[in-house]
């Protein structure tokens, strides 16, 4: 079989721009070159698409668009969908795209919509699953409807900010609260609050990033993660654990300091607990309409209740990222995982191509 050409799409208009570059570098370095050729496409912070070269991606200071080869996408063509603006030449067609673009504009269905319009198979969930999973409020509604454990929460809108009554929220959710923007990631804008003053500071912070925020009752439990993949047939990996020395899994603990220890697999989980978490992760994935892949993050309470915190539809793929490491620990190597995700993207595309698009 001749090699397939994969478009690796990274960067993006998101606070997770830099994380995305690191994820892309790792995928590029791990992908099986005997099976795949890679076209690197970077999305700059301003949203422009550029053709990238591998040297720039490998550079720790990588700034997208260094060569200034801007790309245009051309809708409606069977081939010839990506054009260099400097020369007017089309890029070689890709068989699939691997978007490793975290957060808003990359993981929330908008980019997935562009790829769908271009009729290019792509890795990860489709438009609806991506959009729902990005929105913590809608995720909660679906989990509630499906009878899956979730943290109790209240949704607040920016246009009603002046009318927020702390005492009402405290009465309903208790004193220890988590406040977060509904559409964000990497813990950006997420705070813990235990009193009125902290609460309003947290609300103001969260509203910087979204017009809709969520106040949640703090869940007391272990923080565990499960890697899930598949379209119709859904597979769940072994379980990983995040243990914090202090505080919660905020941006600093995620990326800046060494306070968070990651255990793969999680220690001291009984077979029954393990199975319950994997089953809940698969159920949540199906209920949320996810396909391709997602990392499903949960809490396990003292009385063995599994509370789904959130799905991440394009999880980190850095060298230390949980998603590929969980699969490695489950017997699927990083290069084989990439190949499997690409195969799932193509299979879904072919499946949906069979659907009738006209009435007769
Ligand atoms: N209801 C909650 N109870 C306890 N901890 C929480 C709760 N919500 C969030 N956290 C903590 O905050 C972190 C970030 O919140 P999360 O909802 O996962 O946002 P993000 O999408 O930015 O990762 C979690 O990993 C967890 O440590
Ligand atoms: Mg999270």
Model pLDDT for residues 236-268, shown as the tens digit of each residue: 999 999 999 888 888 888 888 888 899 999 999
Give 3-state DSSP helix, strand, coil % of the chain, rounded to 5.
35, 25, 40
Are residues 177 and 233 both part of a single domain? no
- Residues 318-355 have pLDDT tens digits of 878 999 999 999 999 999 999 999 999 999 999 999 99
Do 301 and 328 lie in one domain? The reply is: yes
Ligand nearest to the CA of 210: 1
Tokens, residue 188: 């950006």
Atom 1 in ligand 1: residue holding the nearest Cα: 218
To test ligand 1's pocket by mutation, which of 153, 180, 191, 251 has the most ligand atoms within 8 angstroms of CB? Answer: 180
Which of the listed residues 187, 191, 215, 219 should we mutate to test ligand 1's pocket, taking the one with most ligand atoms within 8 A of CB? 187
**Which residues, in sequence order, are CB contacts of 197 under 8 Å at separation 6+?**
none
SS3 category, 193: strand
Ligand 1 atom at minimal distance to the Cα of residue 248 = 27
Q: Indicate if 328 and 259 belong to the same structural domain.
A: yes
Q: Quick one: which atom of ligand 1 is closest to the CA of 218?
A: 3
For the stretch 204-221, pLDDT in tens is 999 999 999 999 999 999
Residues 281 and 257 grouped into a single domain: yes
Same domain, 224 and 343: yes
- CA-CA-CA-CA torsion for 86, 88, 94, 100, nearest 10 degrees? 30
| pTM metric for this prediction | 0.95
* CATH code for position 76: 3.40.50.20
Domain that holds residue 273: 220-352
- Whether residues 211 and 253 share a domain: the answer is no
Q: Residue 1: is its pLDDT beyond 80?
A: no
Q: How many CB atoms lie within 10 A of CB 302?
A: 8
Mean pLDDT of 43-52: 97
Residues 28 and 44 in one domain: yes
Is 323's C-beta closer than 6 angstroms to any atom of ligand 1?
A: no
Tokens 């995982």 label which residue?
337
Q: Could you tell me how far CA 225 lies from the centroid of its own chain?
A: 13
How distant, in Å, are the alpha carbons of 86, 140, 232, 288, 293 from that of 281?
46, 14, 15, 11, 12
Same structural domain, 192 and 111: no
Backbone angles phi and psi of 19, in degrees to 5: -60, -40
DSSP string for 56-121: HHHSTT--TTTT--EEEE-TT-SS--EEETTT-PBPPPPSEEEE---STTTSSSHHHHHHHHTT--
pLDDT in tens, 283-305: 999 999 999 999 999 999 999 99
Number of domains in the chain: 3
Residue 66 located in a structural domain: yes
User: What is the CATH number for 307?
Assistant: 3.30.470.20
**233 and 294 both lie in a single domain:** yes
Considering the domain architecture, whether residues 226 and 206 belong to the same structural domain is answered as no
In the beta sheet, which residues pair with residue 182? none
Strand partners, 292: 230
Q: Is residue 287 domain-shared with residue 193, that is, in the same domain? A: no
List 222's β-bridge partners, or say none. Answer: 300
User: Which protein residue has the closest C-alpha to ligand 1 atom 21?
Assistant: 185
**Cα 223 to ligand 1 centroid, rounded to whole Å:** 9
Residue 145 lies in a domain: no
Ligand 1 binding pocket mutation candidate from 249, 250, 253, 315 (most atoms within 8 A of CB) = 249
Ligand 1 within 6 A of 190 CB?
Answer: yes
315 domain-assigned: yes
Distance from the CA of 255 to the center of ligand 2, in angstroms? 13
Q: What is the CATH number of the domain that holds 179?
A: 3.30.1490.20
Distance 223 CA to ligand 2 centre (A): 10
Domain-ending residue, one of 217, 240, 263: 217
The answer to whether position 44 is within a domain reads: yes
Share of the chain above pLDDT 90, in %: 89
| CB-neighbour burial class of residue 44 (10 A; exposed 0-12, middle 13-18, buried 19+) | middle
| Within a domain: 143 | no
312 lines ligand 1 (CB under 6 A): no
Which of 217, 244, 268 terminates a domain? The answer is 217
In a domain, 128, yes or no: no
Q: Are residues 208 and 238 in the same domain?
A: no
């Amino acid at each position: 079989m001749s090699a397939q050409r994969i478009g690796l799409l990274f960067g993006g208009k998101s606070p997770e721009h830099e994380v995305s570059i690191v994820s892309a570098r790792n995928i590029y370095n791990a992908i099986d070159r005997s099976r795949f050729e890679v076209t690197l496409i970077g999305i700059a912070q301003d949203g422009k698409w550029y053709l990238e070269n591998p040297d720039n991606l490998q550079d720790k200071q990588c700034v997208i668009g260094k060569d200034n080869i801007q790309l245009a996408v051309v809708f409606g063509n069977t081939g010839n969908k990506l054009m260099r603006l400097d020369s007017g030449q089309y890029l070689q067609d890709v068989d699939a795209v691997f978007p490793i673009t975290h957060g808003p504009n990359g993981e929330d269905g908008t980019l997935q919509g562009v790829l769908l319009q271009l009729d290019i198979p792509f890795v990860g969930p489709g438009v609806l699953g991506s959009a729902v999973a990005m929105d913590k409020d809608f995720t909660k509604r679906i989990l509630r409807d499906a009878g899956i454990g979730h943290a109790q929460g209240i949704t607040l809108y920016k246009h009603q900010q002046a009318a927020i009554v702390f005492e009402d929220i405290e009465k309903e959710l208790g004193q220890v609260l988590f406040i977060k923007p509904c559409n964000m990631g990497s813990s950006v804008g997420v705070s813990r609050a235990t009193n009125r003053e902290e609460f309003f500071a947290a609300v103001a912070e969260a509203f910087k990033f979204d017009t809709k925020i969520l106040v949640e009752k703090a869940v007391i439990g272990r923080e565990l993660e499960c890697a899930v993949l598949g379209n119709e047939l859904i597979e769940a990996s072994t379980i990983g654990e995040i243990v914090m020395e202090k505080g919660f899994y905020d941006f600093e603990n995620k990326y800046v300091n060494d306070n968070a220890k990651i255990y793969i697999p999680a220690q001291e989980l009984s077979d029954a607990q393990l199975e319950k978490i994997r089953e809940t992760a698969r159920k949540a994935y199906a209920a949320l309409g996810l396909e391709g892949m997602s990392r499903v993050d949960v809490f396990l309470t003292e009385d063995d209740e599994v509370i789904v915190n959130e799905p991440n539809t394009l999880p980190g793929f850095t060298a230390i990222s949980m998603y590929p490491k969980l699969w490695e620990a489950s017997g699927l190597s990083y290069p084989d995982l990439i190949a499997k995700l690409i195969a799932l993207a193509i299979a879904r595309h072919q499946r949906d191509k069979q659907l009738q698009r006209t009435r007769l």
